[in-house]
Chain A
Amino acid sequence: MAPEIGHYALILALAISLTQAVVPILGARRGNRELMAYGGRAALGQCACIVLSFAALTYAFITSDFSVEIVAANSHTAKPLVYKISGVWANHEGSMLLWVLILSIFGAALALFGANLPDTLKANALAVQGMISLGFLAFIEFTSNPFNRLDNPPLDGNGLNPILQDPGLAIHPPFLYLGYVGFSMAFSFSVAALIEGKVDAAWARWVRPWVLAAWCFLTIGITLGSAWAYYTLGWGGWWFWDPVENASFMPWLAGTALLHSALVVERRNALVSWTVLLGILTFSLSLVGTFLVRSGVLTSVHAFATDPARGVFILGLLIAATGGALTLYTIRMPTLKSGSPFAPVSREGALTLNNMLLLIACGTVFLGTFYPLLVDLLTRDKISVGPPYFNLTFVPIMVPLLIAMAIGPMLKWKRSELPQALERLRIPAIAVAAVVAITIALGIGRGFFSAVGSAIGMGLAVWLVGGSLAVLAYRVRLGLGPYETTLNLVRTTPLAFYGLVIAHSGMGITVAGITGMTSWATETVQSLRPGEQLQLSGYDVKLRTVELVAGPNYEAQQGTFDVSVRGRPVTTLVTQRRFYPIREQLTTSAGIHTNLISNIYVTLAEQDAKGAWPVRFYFHPFVPWIWLGALTMALGGFVSLADRRLRVGLPQSARRLAPTVAVGGPVPAE
């Protein structure tokens, strides 16, 4: 019964989205308030239906209703409850339902919190959201129905791929989709603005919080995926430049650019048409990612066979959405006027440079990801584009971006002086020089180029953290005036500014982590018997025992290691090789200990013929910072989001633009 209710709710949502896509636009054209207001009601109704549908599917998974095809294919009675729930989105159909659920939640949020938006802008944006919903609900209904029933339900399910039975990966997709799908708001607002032919500072102010929220979630989603790869795949890799990883990274890069260019529109009413274009581009890259992952065009040899109808359908959606929006852009672009001029050396100039470099980076990732396809199509040749290509091309683009990242916030809007800005960065610059000198001095023994590489990495990290702090210090006039002034400024500086400082510092922390991994990580592989030990980078690692243990739905060989430094015990590491009988699959659970500055990491391989256990042990200095830095970036985003000025729907700009007019509209429920 529940699956049928879920399916009906889904069809109802499809019908509602159809009306949501049409009615509010008509209302906006005719100036009919009733029709425009329908958009909000439709968004809420659509969301309620999809929530119900999603709940029904979740119920089917929790109760192990194996008459539902995807439950039988992806679940099992012996699975822990949390993985029964995450099993809902650990398959194609269920994950698409999660996709539209999040899409409809964003739509409903716009309906609820968009009270202060101009009626027509809100109506048009809701209609565009309705169109996206319509497309994806139709996709689910016609190619990927999650509620398909089996005529002969099996007694038990096929189980969930054990590699997905992990807490990090259970929450990875929801965050990723909050990001991907959240960018739909930027898209809808861009298209709505093009329909109206008007983009102004107020528009940017309304769009930015949604973009910022989506960006934060996507950052967290990517971080979770990377951390998961690190501790599950068993050799400590954290980023592989895999097509599916790139699919999430490209919208992130474009979204980061959008975040910054929207700032220019908001503050200076410049880069207007560019920002609208970026809004379209960012969500389009999310759609391209969806296409990439679900159509099977790029999965390599022996990959999971996918239904070609799905690829055709998503490509159709991409062409309709992006093609339609870009056509509208082409028509309306001349009417979008940029107002305020700015000098090349200015905050706006720096943000333009930021956009340029981020988009080159994004374009490079796109090129590398899709190039094998192009070569295959044109020359019938198979090539691979792997990490060496991306490292060679991506890093040189990022270096100037990271250097500029600390200088940009020091520049004034409209017109600024570079020497002046650099002068204020002299303390971080001295710190960078010191770190570079130390890194080279310590590392020169391992080769000149590797030492210079590490020095550049650590120098950039210090530059970013130091530069961000220097920006804050300058802002609060630390050491430039009386102590009271500084205290006062600390209180009155808007949270958005703290957000900037935190996010940029986070980037520096991540850069340090990446440098640690590429420069100083050490590893060893040795065969040990219980009681024997190995040495690496000052650690003594002794294999205490290897025993057989039983998990809820797996059995494991568990190795226990005592780790000590100069005789002083540090920690005990436990690693498992898990065997899941339902799927006959092996997974690794690495033994990791972190002190937040470095990780030690141990895994066990299959016992060899002589009865010893091959043990791999890694020392990863600074590596936890890769993810801590990324989370710090997301934190910066959230801090900025908490700024009153950014709160959804509060038309701060009205006050700025027309100081005599009182702040309009009620304060929205928050």
Chain B
Amino acid sequence: MSLSTANLTRFAPLLGFAAIAAGLGFALTNDPRKMPSMLIDRPAPKFALPPLDAGSSGLASEDLNGKVALLNVFASWCGGCRVEHPTLVQIAKDGAVPLYGINWKDKPGDGLKWLRAHANPYLKVGDDPSGRLGIDMGVTGVPETFVIDRTGRIRYRHAGPITPDVWQETFEPLLASLRSER
């Protein structure tokens, strides 16, 4: 069979469709909601956020220095944060990893009220009412959680609530491997 126009027009539609169908099949295995973070393996941005209440010290990037830590972005108006909060409280209680919070785009006082009502799992919390630090970290919504290594680089970003399953399947092995880095 020679590669004539007739043969081309005869077989091209079926072959073309086969390629497209295969692509669509692969597409089904893909989660379109997973957005890569631009900050992976980059140093976390420098910041110094004010505290939620006048008594405490706020949160600065230096607070994260030299340890594997979690940076959790939350807000009082966010439903997903309510879902993950018990897990965060449990993590704090277990002392599994130092947990720091960024209160993102909340009205003054709301974040503090929320933490008082639902328990505070964070070692330190910074207030980001304008959401500007959020933008620097490529935050698209709340909750989001960043894993930061000893050298201060962001190694992983989780968008959406941390459920016990997510914690066990993703975070625990990741934290273990980060801690084993020298």
Interface residues of A (CB under 8 A from B): 273, 277, 280-281, 284, 288, 291, 295-303, 308, 311-312, 315, 318-319, 322-323, 326-327, 329-330, 333-334, 370, 373-374, 376-377, 380-382
> Does A312 contact B21, Cβ atoms closer than 8 Å?
no
Checking A311, A329, A373 against B13 with a beta-carbon cut-off of 8 angstroms, the contacting residue is A329
> Does B10 contact A333, Cβ atoms closer than 8 Å?
yes
Cβ–Cβ < 8 Å partners of B13 in chain A: 277, 280-281, 326, 329-330
> Does A300 contact B14, Cβ atoms closer than 8 Å?
no
Checking A277, A298, A323, A326 against B32 with a beta-carbon cut-off of 8 angstroms, the contacting residue is A298
- A652 and B9 alpha carbons, distance in the complex (Å): 32
Chain B 13-27 interface residues, beta-carbon cutoff 8 Å to A: 13-14, 17-18, 21, 23-27
For B28, give the chain A residue with the smallest CB separation: A311
For A298, give the chain B residue with the smallest CB separation: B32
> Does A373 contact B28, Cβ atoms closer than 8 Å?
no
Besides A295-B28, A308-B28, A326-B17, 13 more A-B contacts (Cβ < 8 Å) are: A297-B24, A301-B35, A302-B33, A302-B140, A302-B141, A303-B32, A315-B24, A327-B14, A333-B10, A374-B23, A376-B32, A377-B23, A377-B27
Total interface residues on B, using CB and 8 Å?
A: 22
- A315 and B9 alpha carbons, distance in the complex (Å): 25
Cβ–Cβ < 8 Å partners of A295 in chain B: 28
> Does A297 contact B32, Cβ atoms closer than 8 Å?
yes
A-B contact count (CB 8 A): 74
7 contacts across the A-B interface (CB closer than 8 A): A291-B24, A297-B24, A303-B33, A312-B28, A319-B21, A323-B21, A370-B23
Cβ–Cβ < 8 Å partners of A296 in chain B: 32
> Does A380 contact B36, Cβ atoms closer than 8 Å?
yes
> Does B23 contact A329, Cβ atoms closer than 8 Å?
no
- A664 and B76 alpha carbons, distance in the complex (Å): 76
B180 close to chain A: CB less than 8 A: no
Cβ–Cβ < 8 Å partners of B35 in chain A: 301, 382
> Does A373 contact B23, Cβ atoms closer than 8 Å?
yes
- A376 and B31 alpha carbons, distance in the complex (Å): 10
- A96 and B160 alpha carbons, distance in the complex (Å): 30
Interface residues of B (CB under 8 A from A): 6, 9-11, 13-14, 17-18, 21, 23-28, 30, 32-33, 35-36, 140-141
For B16, give the chain A residue with the smallest CB separation: A326
Checking B10, B11, B18, B27 against A297 with a beta-carbon cut-off of 8 angstroms, the contacting residue is B27
- A322 and B27 alpha carbons, distance in the complex (Å): 18
- A380 and B40 alpha carbons, distance in the complex (Å): 14
Q: Say whether chain A's binding surface is mostly helix, strand, loop, or mixed.
A: helix
For A370, give the chain B residue with the smallest CB separation: B23
- A326 and B15 alpha carbons, distance in the complex (Å): 9
- A556 and B32 alpha carbons, distance in the complex (Å): 36
Checking A315, A334, A380 against B28 with a beta-carbon cut-off of 8 angstroms, the contacting residue is A315
- A640 and B6 alpha carbons, distance in the complex (Å): 35
Min CB gap B117→A, angstroms: 20
Min CB gap A578→B, angstroms: 21
A-B pairs, 8 with minimum CB distance: A326-B14, A297-B27, A333-B10, A311-B28, A330-B14, A373-B27, A326-B13, A319-B21
Cβ–Cβ < 8 Å partners of A380 in chain B: 36
- A265 and B141 alpha carbons, distance in the complex (Å): 55
For A311, give the chain B residue with the smallest CB separation: B28
- A602 and B79 alpha carbons, distance in the complex (Å): 33
Q: Most chain-A Cβ atoms within 10 A of its Cβ — which of B18, B33, B140?
A: B33
- A302 and B160 alpha carbons, distance in the complex (Å): 9
Min CB gap A335→B, angstroms: 11
> Does A373 contact B14, Cβ atoms closer than 8 Å?
no
- A658 and B155 alpha carbons, distance in the complex (Å): 78
> Does A297 contact B30, Cβ atoms closer than 8 Å?
yes
- A288 and B26 alpha carbons, distance in the complex (Å): 15
- A315 and B140 alpha carbons, distance in the complex (Å): 31
- A382 and B31 alpha carbons, distance in the complex (Å): 12
- A302 and B139 alpha carbons, distance in the complex (Å): 13
> Does A330 contact B10, Cβ atoms closer than 8 Å?
yes
Min CB gap B145→A, angstroms: 16
Cβ–Cβ < 8 Å partners of B25 in chain A: 315
For B26, give the chain A residue with the smallest CB separation: A377
Min CB gap A368→B, angstroms: 15
Cβ–Cβ < 8 Å partners of B6 in chain A: 334
Min CB gap A376→B, angstroms: 6
Cβ–Cβ < 8 Å partners of B17 in chain A: 284, 322-323, 326
- A303 and B25 alpha carbons, distance in the complex (Å): 20
Query: With A302-B33, A315-B21, A373-B23 given, is the CB distance from A297 to B28 under 8 Å?
Result: yes
Cβ–Cβ < 8 Å partners of A303 in chain B: 32-33
Q: Most chain-A Cβ atoms within 10 A of its Cβ — which of B6, B21, B32?
A: B32
Cβ–Cβ < 8 Å partners of A329 in chain B: 13-14
Cβ–Cβ < 8 Å partners of A302 in chain B: 33, 140-141
> Does B11 contact A301, Cβ atoms closer than 8 Å?
no
- A168 and B62 alpha carbons, distance in the complex (Å): 56
> Does B140 contact A301, Cβ atoms closer than 8 Å?
yes
For B140, give the chain A residue with the smallest CB separation: A301
Min CB gap B33→A, angstroms: 6
- A280 and B16 alpha carbons, distance in the complex (Å): 14
> Does A334 contact B10, Cβ atoms closer than 8 Å?
yes
Min CB gap A451→B, angstroms: 38
- A303 and B35 alpha carbons, distance in the complex (Å): 12
Min CB gap A327→B, angstroms: 6
Cβ–Cβ < 8 Å partners of B24 in chain A: 288, 291, 297, 315, 318
Checking B11, B30, B140 against A373 with a beta-carbon cut-off of 8 angstroms, the contacting residue is B30
